[in-house]
Structure 1
């Protein structure tokens, strides 16, 4: 676990952490206030404890301040006091865990005792100062207790018992400061120790980033990011055994449209980070001024997953978000092909439209450099061409554009192509190895496994924000069959995948596996998400596979066998999830799901973001699973190249409805 030794103002990752954990702390505080169980207060301390264990003190202060503001609005002054006290407990727990390790419990106890006495003294002092509030509190307590005593008397309790109870009530009222101070002290110490126990239990199941994530410079000088020249630039990530980039020499000129191409793992995204301001581990990066990331006239980044960059409720609101100057929203939307969409809710946009919006929001800052990192990986072929055309128009208007892609055909619109291979500049494109494709055969067993009858689904049904994703979908999938579900972005493919896997119930109709609703047969239909990283929740590959399989301990032989099924070596078993490539993450996610012996395997956009080699490897694995192990496979994808080796039938979705179920082709 790293020590937070950075100095200076809060950096962007720290601000993000403070905002997220502060909001979480405030939310839990308000919810816990409605639960009549004091032990639930422990939940409030955990977010702050994790910040204190991994971040600087000023990040904890920022998160606590943000939580206090939200708590004041949602819960009033008492919620603010609760946030402050419990955040202090969380800070103690997290810092003790980071600094003292196994001895931390003694430190927590030693610090909690004086802290609890101080809080108890404050509570008693406030009640002594505000007599009316104290009298009201004690009268309410006495009335409640005497009501209980009266009920006992009516039930036939002995007179001696009633007299003793009344004497105790009188004592509590007269000597309120004794029992109240003691109760607060014991409660605070107990909360601190219980918080520490829960935190340690969670921390043992977590991994901690040993090194801070490299972040571009925060130079406040005037932005001037181009021309930029890289001289013998080399970059190696912490704990890595090889360089991600080696001896890179290149110059990017103002107004140039540059495409950076290469296979997965060639160093494309690392080069993009260097251009965006991350300092290399060796070499020189020469610019006339500051990078100005996110600033007017500086550098803008657009990522592969646009939903992580969309913040506004409507399209126009998102374009304006964070912009420091007046901007012509309609002109920007027209430039990126979203004319007239200013008032549309952002959740109604397709993947390609979200990427256009991300570009428009980046252009709102009038950047001199726009870096687009694999922005076409998650969209269909038409949207890919449109997005590249938008970038070409942006470059023609004078903005330097750097497009990072593994698809060589997307580079045809660029002024210059930079090719990378294994972290080095390559003079020519690395030739792909082609093999003869063998189309998949129809299933030998026609008996149905999955059946959908009149399935429809509406998100936020019954509200003004209702959005219908599927309408009257009827489909049958046979045992051992391979089915491709194709369609443009926004056609309902991902919603169908979630219904097939039983993760959501359809609004209308039924989705069944051998006659039972898939929602009632968790695990029998496995789903591999479009973004595999979101599915991998354990720290290492071995733990991910074993825990998904329901095993209490890691079984090396079992892990090796499962990894072999997806073409991965046993050397990956102990590797951290975050050190896997995109293709490796996807195969580990498949391996983990196969460990549950599912009847059906559903893959949502499995080929997105993979280069030719990665595609061939994954397709070969799926062919083996279907033909040798007889796993029923449903592939949800807009990218159909090569999938005919796995799937013998193609189902086409359009506007949430099946327009072709592929049965004519099969017949």
Structure 2
């Protein structure tokens, strides 16, 4: 992607008669280099060179490689030297400029006819300028000096051409560094150590049997261990469930099983973990977007694998007949199934499934757990990370984690009676959808209609729950309500104004809360979303209190939050804008039982006390009866049923 961006910028800036525009070409490479991805820098440069050759010829290729070198210098200097990076950039750009200047002069010396033509064209152009000055009334001395300057430039061409190249390269590097610093200061580009295996052992994958002995792991710059003294064995064909509260270390344990080296202790296995390799270890995450790479479902399944029975795999995961579907049109649950199919295509010895049922409906969840059990029976070891007891009950063994340690199974907590949400006593329409239809890739061969003639009215202070199977159109409906999509047909109005024309009146919390958290720390995120001119820590602490988070999180980096904390920070940020309607897409996904109860209580309080209008898109209905008084059922993009009604 960055290589393509570099190539496109190279071609575009080739038509811009402003040399300063060329500095934009180096920026994508600078960001790759800042992240320490040397292979990515090389791959992006080569890919952009190929595209530039096809689009603009060999001179564009030369420009790409020169500016990619400048970008790599800028990014690496920033990552390695920080505040002193500007001096490193200058010192590194100078020899690069001298080398390129020598190369340019050498080529002009070698190709004498080309040099003569270029210099004659330059001299003719400058003499024409001198004649224009003379006609405008310039004196003879001025014209004579101008002519002498032209003759001097022709004789000493190698001096001024070489100097211009050196100044251009050094100036481009320093300007690129300045722009890079400005962009990096407003981004969360990560330069932290990877939390996945950084080195791959040579040899054929052989991850099982696997034994962990007194394994401890602490993340860089963390003040406490994420895992402590873990003893665990996993053999071929075992189905092991790992359960625990948010932040208990479940995902860290999954990373260790996938090949991450522990801080202390021993991981004993016959050979390499073979992460992502056929016959090795595969992982499926809670958010499958990071694992789906192909443009179509079939293309994604074939990615990196030679022999794949596409139809059989798709049928096995419940996606039969969808090989030609564009992956961008799939729902969250369908993407999860596709990610699992891609993992199974590698015929792994060990499959690690980290909260893979969080985004699917109840029927699909049961089908996925049954599929994992069948995979284990076929000889593949399966490790399922989950919050749900009914999922864990299917496994052969259940490992309970608490604060990074393996603990005995806790006693079940007593159920508390639910307080049913009441409909508004005096309903006042706030959000209205009238005959809304939405088609992805409309008017193309890949058009896919997600919503058809949906009409719905939501009243002030009401709670509405939207349910339906995967692919029924729930998330598309949420994005239209939030104004992020404009309906293909029909209207979505917030008090007579299209939601797509509003900003901040409809708050929206994504399925993947991390995607909307754009600042480095909690305080910066909430202050920025609230529109404050500066970071106000006291204000942020008050907003966090509103969603049940302690003030200690004010200065916490976003990447150090648990999944549940990220979701509540995203909710707090949206509430800081005082929205008239709050839309939440799968708010309970990935939360443990106490976390679910707490979030349900927060939403119920917002609705009943603060009179916030809430629309919840969810597969998980448990507890939602305390927030929502009406349930809307979607099927194939249409509303097929409404349970409960607004009282008159």
TM-score (norm 2): 0.91
SS state of the match for residue 74, structure 2? helix
Between the aligned partners of 1:352 and 1:56, the Cα distance in structure 2 is 31
2:349 is the alignment partner of 1:368: yes
Distance 1:471 1:328, change over 3 A: closer
Match of 1:428 among 409, 416, 422: 409
Instruction: State the 1:142 CA deviation.
Output: 7.3
Shifted more, 608-617 versus 116-125: the winner is 116-125
Shifted more, 178-187 versus 512-521: the winner is 178-187
Between the aligned partners of 1:543 and 1:181, the Cα distance in structure 2 is 47
Instruction: State the 1:511 CA deviation.
Output: 1.4
Between the aligned partners of 1:431 and 1:312, the Cα distance in structure 2 is 43
Corresponding residue number in structure 2 for 1:175:
153
Distance 1:229 1:537, change over 3 A: same
Q: How does 1:168-247 map to 2 (within 5 A)?
A: 175=153, 177=157, 180-206=161-187, 208-215=190-197, 218-247=200-229
Distance 1:230 1:96, change over 3 A: closer
SS state of the match for residue 511, structure 1? strand
SS state of the match for residue 240, structure 2? strand
2:136 is the alignment partner of 1:158: yes
Corresponding residue number in structure 2 for 1:249:
231
SS state of the match for residue 301, structure 1? strand
- Checking the alignment, whether the CA contact within 8 Å between 2:329 and 2:440 is kept in structure 1 is no
Between the aligned partners of 1:144 and 1:476, the Cα distance in structure 2 is 70
Between the aligned partners of 2:278 and 2:241, the Cα distance in structure 1 is 24
What's the CA shift string for 1:412-433, capped at 9, x where partnerless? Answer: 3222222222322233244235
- Checking the alignment, whether the CA contact within 8 Å between 1:261 and 1:420 is kept in structure 2 is yes
Distance 1:161 1:126, change over 3 A: farther
Corresponding residue number in structure 2 for 1:317:
299
Instruction: State the 1:484 CA deviation.
Output: 1.4
Shifted more, 240-249 versus 510-519: the winner is 240-249
- Checking the alignment, whether the CA contact within 8 Å between 2:282 and 2:348 is kept in structure 1 is yes
- Checking the alignment, whether the CA contact within 8 Å between 2:472 and 2:637 is kept in structure 1 is yes
Q: How does 1:29-428 map to 2 (within 5 A)?
A: 29-55=10-36, 60-131=41-112, 133-134=114-115, 158=136, 160=138, 175=153, 177=157, 180-206=161-187, 208-215=190-197, 218-324=200-306, 326-428=307-409
Between the aligned partners of 1:440 and 1:140, the Cα distance in structure 2 is 82
SS state of the match for residue 175, structure 1? helix
Corresponding residue number in structure 2 for 1:556:
537
SS state of the match for residue 413, structure 1? coil
SS state of the match for residue 230, structure 1? strand
SS state of the match for residue 393, structure 2? helix
Between the aligned partners of 1:222 and 1:289, the Cα distance in structure 2 is 7
SS state of the match for residue 207, structure 2? coil
Corresponding residue number in structure 1 for 2:631:
650
SS state of the match for residue 65, structure 1? helix
Between the aligned partners of 1:173 and 1:487, the Cα distance in structure 2 is 80
Instruction: State the 1:568 CA deviation.
Output: 0.9
Between the aligned partners of 2:624 and 2:458, the Cα distance in structure 1 is 17
What's the CA shift string for 1:516-547, capped at 9, x where partnerless? Answer: 12122111111111100111010000010111
Shifted more, 160-169 versus 21-30: the winner is 160-169
Distance 1:145 1:637, change over 3 A: farther
Instruction: State the 1:282 CA deviation.
Output: 2.2
Between the aligned partners of 1:320 and 1:467, the Cα distance in structure 2 is 23
What's the CA shift string for 1:122-174, capped at 9, x where partnerless? Answer: 33443454455556656776787889999x79xx9735489978995996598
Shifted more, 64-73 versus 487-496: the winner is 64-73
Instruction: State the 1:291 CA deviation.
Output: 1.5
Between the aligned partners of 1:146 and 1:483, the Cα distance in structure 2 is 77
Between the aligned partners of 1:338 and 1:501, the Cα distance in structure 2 is 29
Unpaired runs of 5+ residues, structure 2, are: none
Shifted more, 330-339 versus 131-140: the winner is 131-140
Instruction: State the 1:476 CA deviation.
Output: 1.6
Between the aligned partners of 1:173 and 1:514, the Cα distance in structure 2 is 74
Distance 1:165 1:389, change over 3 A: farther
What's the CA shift string for 1:194-237, capped at 9, x where partnerless? Answer: 11211222333445544343416511223222221222222222
2:593 is the alignment partner of 1:635: no
- Checking the alignment, whether the CA contact within 8 Å between 1:445 and 1:478 is kept in structure 2 is no
- Checking the alignment, whether the CA contact within 8 Å between 1:138 and 1:173 is kept in structure 2 is no
Between the aligned partners of 2:379 and 2:274, the Cα distance in structure 1 is 17
Shifted more, 134-143 versus 208-217: the winner is 134-143
- Checking the alignment, whether the CA contact within 8 Å between 1:651 and 1:661 is kept in structure 2 is yes
- Checking the alignment, whether the CA contact within 8 Å between 1:444 and 1:480 is kept in structure 2 is no
Corresponding residue number in structure 2 for 1:600:
581
Instruction: State the 1:618 CA deviation.
Output: 0.8
What's the CA shift string for 1:219-270, capped at 9, x where partnerless? Answer: 1223222221222222222222332222222221211122222222222212
- Checking the alignment, whether the CA contact within 8 Å between 1:258 and 1:415 is kept in structure 2 is yes
Between the aligned partners of 2:340 and 2:394, the Cα distance in structure 1 is 17
Between the aligned partners of 2:414 and 2:609, the Cα distance in structure 1 is 24
Distance 1:328 1:489, change over 3 A: closer
Unpaired runs of 5+ residues, structure 1, are: 1-19
Between the aligned partners of 1:442 and 1:561, the Cα distance in structure 2 is 29
What's the CA shift string for 1:391-429, capped at 9, x where partnerless? Answer: 111112121111111111012322222222232223324
Distance 1:374 1:216, change over 3 A: farther
Distance 1:486 1:258, change over 3 A: same
Between the aligned partners of 2:480 and 2:533, the Cα distance in structure 1 is 29
Shifted more, 342-351 versus 539-548: the winner is 342-351
Instruction: State the 1:52 CA deviation.
Output: 3.4
Between the aligned partners of 2:128 and 2:369, the Cα distance in structure 1 is 76
TM-score (norm 1): 0.88
- Checking the alignment, whether the CA contact within 8 Å between 1:299 and 1:369 is kept in structure 2 is yes
- Checking the alignment, whether the CA contact within 8 Å between 1:217 and 1:277 is kept in structure 2 is no
Corresponding residue number in structure 2 for 1:5:
none
Note the aligned Cα RMSD (angstroms).
Answer: 3.0
Between the aligned partners of 2:640 and 2:84, the Cα distance in structure 1 is 65
Instruction: State the 1:279 CA deviation.
Output: 1.9
Between the aligned partners of 1:157 and 1:502, the Cα distance in structure 2 is 62
- Checking the alignment, whether the CA contact within 8 Å between 1:172 and 1:179 is kept in structure 2 is no
> Number of paired residues?
644
Distance 1:182 1:219, change over 3 A: closer
Distance 1:139 1:466, change over 3 A: farther
